[in-house]
Structure 1
Amino acid sequence: MTTWQQRLFDVRRDEVLPVCLAVLFFFCVLVALMILRPAREALGLRGGIDAVRWLFMGTAVVTLLVNPLFGWLVSRLPRLQFISATYAFFACSLVGFFLLLVLAPAAVGVVSGLVFYVWFSVFNLFATMVFWALMADRFTLEQGKRFFGLIAVGGTLGAIAGPWLASQLATPLGTPTLLLVSAGFLAAGLAAAWGIARVRPLLPAATPGDAVATVDAQAPIGGSAWAGVRAVFGSRYLLGIAAYVVILAVMATFLYFTRLQMVAELGDDLDLRTTVFARIDLITQVATLLLQALVAGRLMQWVGVPLTLALLPLTTALGFIGLALVGSLAALIAFEASFRAVQRALMRPARETLFTVLHREDKYKAKAFIDTFVYRGGDVIGAQLEGLLGRLGMGLAALASVAVPLALMWAVLALWLGRTQQAMAESLAAEGSGPERAALPRSSS
């Protein structure tokens, strides 16, 4: 890389290959997800908004059931093998749905659409969770601050390319074929993951918090299938991350159901709803890309992880106040674009750095529990609370009266997490870098 490129992206020469592979990996994962997401939303609405609330609960139950299986894979298989097994399972599921659509189209109805909704929601959570778990395992805290935002650009580009590919391929190839295209991108992402894991290991860094364990990446991590659950409830730090994720999910769910209701008022036409959802996704992804390109790469270094984590709660509080005052679809689109852009461009990379200071087992098992079941648990809470406010005949003003105080509490939690992370990083650096870190006990901070 030339000097100006190094200054622009803040990536050293020896980091270029793994970072490029990470960008490609995330791009492929998001294309695989977003090429199918508009259809998921439209199919979910077929049963009505109340049915979607129950689908959130069904998704939470399924993620709880899948977690011990994923924990077992992490305990028994080397890193690349359990990552491969996870993506291979979802790719094979996509092929199964394709065969159902092609060979037995008459069997596709409301029930099968709801099944696909739940399956896709689980797929979405695990696909992104495994990606970021590998990033937290592969890169140090200092590196995460420098280029997790850059890596997230790959996901945003994939999220833009996915709906565009769907619009270009659906008519000539047919909608069922999109499932095979999604499976193909998963396979390409998996190839990039193997490349990330196999490029030469990083040298231990001298900056506080950047100690890297020189462990055998090919050896199974070990432990029990339920170790991640126990770790979360045994650590104040992990409980704090879980609480942050719950509030994030509640806020996202408030916004999600507000969008569903406004789009449902436009009419019952499936194609119209799919088009509107796709357009909202496109606007959101473009806003995210602009934010990532302008500030994401440097923000964590400029203001630190605590303030970066607090930006989304503050954006949410202002957004719900504005939505309560205006209450139009245009205002909703502006709020959602801002919310998603800050979430994906700024908050998500910052949140993923929280896991870089954890024991290696927690980076996969505890993270899996938090990013899947805990997140979906927050969805359920948000869906039921929003439904209760709706049944009481309370509108956007009542929703804002709940969301704004919760967002302020969320901001305080963000600041605590960021400061605790820095304290843990300094403690790890004081304990020593190198092989010793692999044996460090889980922190109860």
Structure 2
Amino acid sequence: MLNLFTQNKFSATEHLFIIGAMLCGFFISADYSIIRPVSTSLFITKYGTQFFPYAWIISVPLNLLLIGIYNKYLPKLGCLRIYLIVAGSIVAINYSCALLIKHFSFLIFFLYIWKEIYIMLMFQQLWSIIHSTVSLKHAKYLYGFFLGAGGLGSLLGSLLPGFFAVKVGSESLLYMTLPLYLCLTAAFILTLKQSNAGESLLLKEKKSAKEALLHGVKLIINSRTLIFIALSVLFMQLSATLVDYQFSTYLEQTIIGKDLRTQYIGRVLGIGLGISVCMQFFGTYFLIQMMGVKRLHMGFPMLLGLMSILSFLFPGFAITTLVFILLKACDFSLFTIIKETLYIPLSSDEKFRAKAFIDVFLYRFAKVFASLIILSLQMVLTSYLLPVLHSISICVFISWVAIAIYLLKKMQTSELKDKNA
């Protein structure tokens, strides 16, 4: 893989951009791998697994508000100011939760929702800059390195809850946000200065939050590529949410104790991230070279469908944990790379506003849809809830494969090529 850098000559500016983008992904992912096990474990301890669907539903209005504000103020404030506002909010909220969560337990509910929103906003900003700088030719292997660096950050970050949650307490791990985000800020400024983005990506028209949100929707409707990306994200997150709920249910029933759950989640995610890093640095590039992006978009849901069938045939905590690990590993590596590659030929408007709507709002909407399914089943089923969810997951993947085949045939080859290459 290192020979790829010698075969493609990069300028000093391009090298700095690549290093900066990799560091950004590293620090964003490291923070999330600490916050996620903590917030999940605290939530299960306080509210129980059955309340997860309510949290996912409540997150939608907040997502809708934040993405509208993001799209409205991006043209006015610019990439750097928007980043500083979001990053400052993350540090302030996480530290407030660390200090006050034992006295105000409702903050557990808010932290669980908040961490899912801010991680998407951070990656949205980073990937929009990457898309505007990296050509399709270079993206086929550079994206693997960008995600690989993020995977390493996630892997190292997961070691803290995986091995220190019991010793220091879950809440204390929230204090790691500040040092990580100080490093992230330096890396983000470096990346932005060396990119083709900067202020040139700012959109001139001034829109209200509602108009900006609707503008993102119009962009998606008018583009086959964006429609396909949007549907892929919906299917992926719907299936991931169902598997996530199944894993959390077994976790609550099998492991007792807040810090022990935090530790177990950290270690499970660490295993999945180890697989993901190998895929990001090596496997995904060769898969794209051998199969192409279109075939992978059809083959990926087939693979996940087989995993769901395995979980249906052999139910239990062990096999559900295995499926959870493999799904997360594929989501963080293969799916992300082939999805992000489709953004490259699009306009700056589509890369920022449409992408923000898809990656933030539609991501949450999929969780709401999954939540409604789970809540409906909870009302009529008790002991058979998990087997039914396995069956629904299989149906989701079958539908995904059918729609992927249909839409990819409709899309012109020119829509998948970099117009600036």
Question: Considering the TM-score relative to the shorter chain, is it more than 0.5?
Answer: yes
Distance 1:98-1:268 versus aligned 2 partners, 3 A rule: closer
Deviation track 1:119-138 (CA, whole Å, cap 9, x = no partner) reads: 11212221222222222122
Partner of 1:212: none
Distance 1:42-1:219 versus aligned 2 partners, 3 A rule: closer
State the superposition RMSD in angstroms.
2.6
Residues in 2 aligned to 1:414 and 1:221: alpha-carbon distance in whole angstroms: 32
Partner of 1:207: none
Contact 1:257 1:383 in 2 (8 A): no
Partner of 1:80: 80
Q: Select which of 397, 405, 409 maps to 1:407.
A: 397
Deviation track 1:402-435 (CA, whole Å, cap 9, x = no partner) reads: 2223212313444566663742255x73xxx59x
Kindly tell me the number of residue pairs found equivalent between the two proteins: 409
Shift of 1:366: 1.1
Q: Which stretch shows the higher mean deviation, 218-227 or 151-160?
A: 218-227
Q: Select which of 150, 154, 176 maps to 2:149.
A: 154
Contact 1:354 1:418 in 2 (8 A): no
Distance 1:155-1:63 versus aligned 2 partners, 3 A rule: same
Partner amino acid for 1:36?
Answer: I
Q: Which stretch shows the higher mean deviation, 182-191 or 316-325?
A: 182-191
Shift of 1:169: 6.2
Shift of 1:228: 1.6
Partner amino acid for 1:35?
Answer: I
Q: What percent identity do the matched residue pairs reach?
A: 21
Distance 1:94-1:417 versus aligned 2 partners, 3 A rule: farther
Contact 2:162 2:263 in 1 (8 A): no
Partner of 1:220: 202
Q: Which stretch shows the higher mean deviation, 234-243 or 355-364?
A: 234-243
In the alignment, structure 1 residue 423 sits paired with structure 2 residue 419: no
Contact 2:166 2:260 in 1 (8 A): no
Shift of 1:99: 4.4
Give the 3-state SS of the residue equivalent to 1:138 in structure 2. Answer: coil
Partner of 1:54: 54
Partner amino acid for 2:393?
Answer: A
What's the TM-score, normalizing by structure 1?
Answer: 0.84
Partner of 1:143: 138
Aligned ranges 1:33-432 → 2 under 5 Å: 33-45=32-44, 46-100=46-100, 105=102, 107-109=103-105, 111-166=106-161, 176-199=171-194, 201=196, 217-218=199-200, 220-223=202-205, 224=207, 225-226=212-213, 227-390=215-378, 391-393=380-382, 394-415=384-405, 420=411, 422-426=413-417, 429=419
Shift of 1:171: 7.3
Contact 1:6 1:12 in 2 (8 A): no
Residues in 1 aligned to 2:136 and 2:118: alpha-carbon distance in whole angstroms: 27
Residues in 2 aligned to 1:271 and 1:9: alpha-carbon distance in whole angstroms: 47
Residues in 2 aligned to 1:236 and 1:247: alpha-carbon distance in whole angstroms: 17
Contact 1:56 1:383 in 2 (8 A): yes
Distance 1:319-1:132 versus aligned 2 partners, 3 A rule: same
Distance 1:323-1:200 versus aligned 2 partners, 3 A rule: closer
Deviation track 1:275-327 (CA, whole Å, cap 9, x = no partner) reads: 22122111111121232343123322332111222333112110110001111
Distance 1:268-1:165 versus aligned 2 partners, 3 A rule: closer
Distance 1:280-1:216 versus aligned 2 partners, 3 A rule: closer
Distance 1:133-1:66 versus aligned 2 partners, 3 A rule: same
Contact 1:10 1:147 in 2 (8 A): no
In the alignment, structure 1 residue 5 sits paired with structure 2 residue 23: no
Partner amino acid for 2:176?
Answer: V
Structure 1 runs of 4+ off > 6 angstroms?
171-174
Distance 1:40-1:83 versus aligned 2 partners, 3 A rule: same
Residues in 2 aligned to 1:200 and 1:119: alpha-carbon distance in whole angstroms: 29
Partner of 1:29: 28
Partner of 1:443: none
Contact 2:133 2:195 in 1 (8 A): no
Which runs of 5 or more residues in structure 2 are unaligned? none
Residues in 1 aligned to 2:251 and 2:278: alpha-carbon distance in whole angstroms: 26
Distance 1:10-1:197 versus aligned 2 partners, 3 A rule: farther
Residues in 1 aligned to 2:162 and 2:141: alpha-carbon distance in whole angstroms: 35
Residues in 2 aligned to 1:24 and 1:245: alpha-carbon distance in whole angstroms: 25
Give the 3-state SS of the residue equivalent to 2:354 in structure 1. Answer: helix
Partner amino acid for 1:346?
Answer: L
Which runs of 5 or more residues in structure 1 are unaligned? 202-214, 435-445
Deviation track 1:83-107 (CA, whole Å, cap 9, x = no partner) reads: 3332232223223334435xxx4x2
Distance 1:217-1:414 versus aligned 2 partners, 3 A rule: farther
Q: Which stretch shows the higher mean deviation, 225-234 or 124-133?
A: 225-234
Shift of 1:239: 2.5
What's the TM-score, normalizing by structure 2?
Answer: 0.88
Partner amino acid for 1:95?
Answer: Y
Give the 3-state SS of the residue equivalent to 1:197 in structure 2. Answer: helix
Give the 3-state SS of the residue equivalent to 2:344 in structure 1. Answer: helix
Partner amino acid for 1:222?
Answer: K
Distance 1:415-1:385 versus aligned 2 partners, 3 A rule: same
Shift of 1:257: 0.5
Partner amino acid for 1:259?
Answer: F
Partner of 2:18: 19
Shift of 1:143: 2.0
